[in-house]
């Protein structure tokens, strides 16, 4: 039966009992408003662990003042339904005061590496907020495995670097992007799109698919590939490009030529909604044996 816990004290008690019984623990951290992309993470966690925890916490420290913290969508009833359907064992639902109590003043910061550039430039301080909350959740849940979606490619790279840098004994599992039937990457922010914007958003996956076709056909010139991606997106009147980059898959640094595993990462405003997406040009197996294609 699915448990719901909202305090650190209570979840630590449950985790302690599970650990005492020798259970492996899978963890899926989320900000809520779950969809099939989140469900795919929970599904995999259920397959690979004895117990699965899903956290639902809208983390204020990763939002800047002009972002959508107050309007971020919420639906705890549907979230619970998805967790039950996927077979999760526990939902952790802490309040902001539970995670950041009065007097809180310790943060995890990443000044270089995977957090530089891309969304790190567009959303100043964002990844420090991500690292802080994820490190705190890791300390509470103490999972064996933690699951993150490849759609948030830079976030996944940042979490992997944080775990390496701080010697955190948790296996970080990256999971494939889940898309709608028409190709749009699933995202909680898709709910912001009106009908016209929803159609316009397809320019992202269309451009990325085209870029992969070019690479598969033998094109290695990064600037030419980026030009083709930008051209497709720019043909959509409702789209405004934040960035288009081709990067390595470890630190997400720009490369000049396609000569090894790489990926195209994009951020685009569709109307007022900022969407991100990416595609990997060659399959890669990371140090933990997780295959990304």
Contacts of 115 (CB under 8 A, 6+ apart): 127, 128, 131, 154, 158, 161
| Helical (H) or strand (E) element with 16 | helix 8-20
Contacts of 208 (CB under 8 A, 6+ apart): 229, 264, 266, 277, 278, 279
Task: Return the C-alpha torsion angle 155, 159, 162, 164, nearest 10.
Answer: -130
**Which H, E and C letters describe 89-149, residue by residue?**
CEEECCCHHHHCCCCCCCCCCCCCHHHCCCHHHHCCCHHHHHHHHHHHHHHHHCCCEEEEE
**Which H, E and C letters describe 175-196, residue by residue?**
ECCCECCCCCECCHHHHHCCHH
Backbone angles phi, psi at 5, to 5 degrees: -130, 140
Instruction: Report the Cα–Cα distance between both ends of the chain, in Å, rounded.
Output: 35
* CA–CA distance, 61 with 42 (Å, rounded to integer): 25
Catalytic residues: 38
Q: Supply the DSSP symbol for 254.
A: B
Distance from the Cα of residue 275 to its chain's centroid: 12
* CA–CA distance, 33 with 54 (Å, rounded to integer): 12
């Amino acid at each position: 039966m699915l448990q719901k816990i909202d305090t650190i004290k209570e979840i630590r008690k449950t985790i302690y009992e599970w650990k005492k019984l020798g259970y492996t623990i899978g963890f899926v951290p989320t900000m809520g408003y779950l969809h099939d992309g989140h469900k795919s993470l929970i599904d995999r966690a259920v397959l690979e662990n004895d117990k699965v925890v899903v956290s639902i916490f809208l983390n204020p420290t990763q939002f800047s003042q002009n972002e959508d913290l107050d309007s971020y969508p919420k639906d705890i009833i549907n979230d619970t339904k998805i967790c039950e359907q996927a077979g999760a064992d526990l939902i952790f639902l802490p309040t902001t005061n539970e995670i950041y109590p009065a007097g809180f003043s310790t943060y995890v910061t990443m000044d270089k590496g995977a957090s530089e550039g891309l969304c790190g430039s567009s959303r100043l301080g964002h990844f420090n907020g991500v690292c802080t909350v994820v490190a705190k959740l890791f300390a509470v849940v103490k999972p064996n495995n933690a699951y993150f979606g490849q759609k948030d490619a830079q976030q996944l790279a940042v979490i992997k670097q944080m775990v390496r840098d701080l010697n955190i004994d948790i296996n970080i599992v990256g999971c494939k992007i889940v898309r709608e039937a028409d190709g749009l990457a699933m995202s909680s922010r898709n709910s912001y799109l009106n009908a016209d914007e929803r159609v316009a958003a397809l320019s992202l996956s269309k451009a990325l698919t085209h870029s992969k076709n070019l690479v598969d056909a033998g094109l290695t010139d990064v600037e030419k590939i980026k030009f083709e991606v930008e051209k497709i997106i720019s043909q959509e009147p409702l789209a405004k490009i934040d960035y288009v980059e081709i990067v390595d898959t470890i630190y997400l640094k720009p490369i000049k030529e396609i000569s090894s595993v790489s990926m195209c990462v994009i951020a685009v405003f569709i109307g007022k909604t900022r969407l991100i997406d990416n595609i990997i040009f060659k399959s890669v197996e990371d140090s933990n044996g997780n295959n990304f294609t």
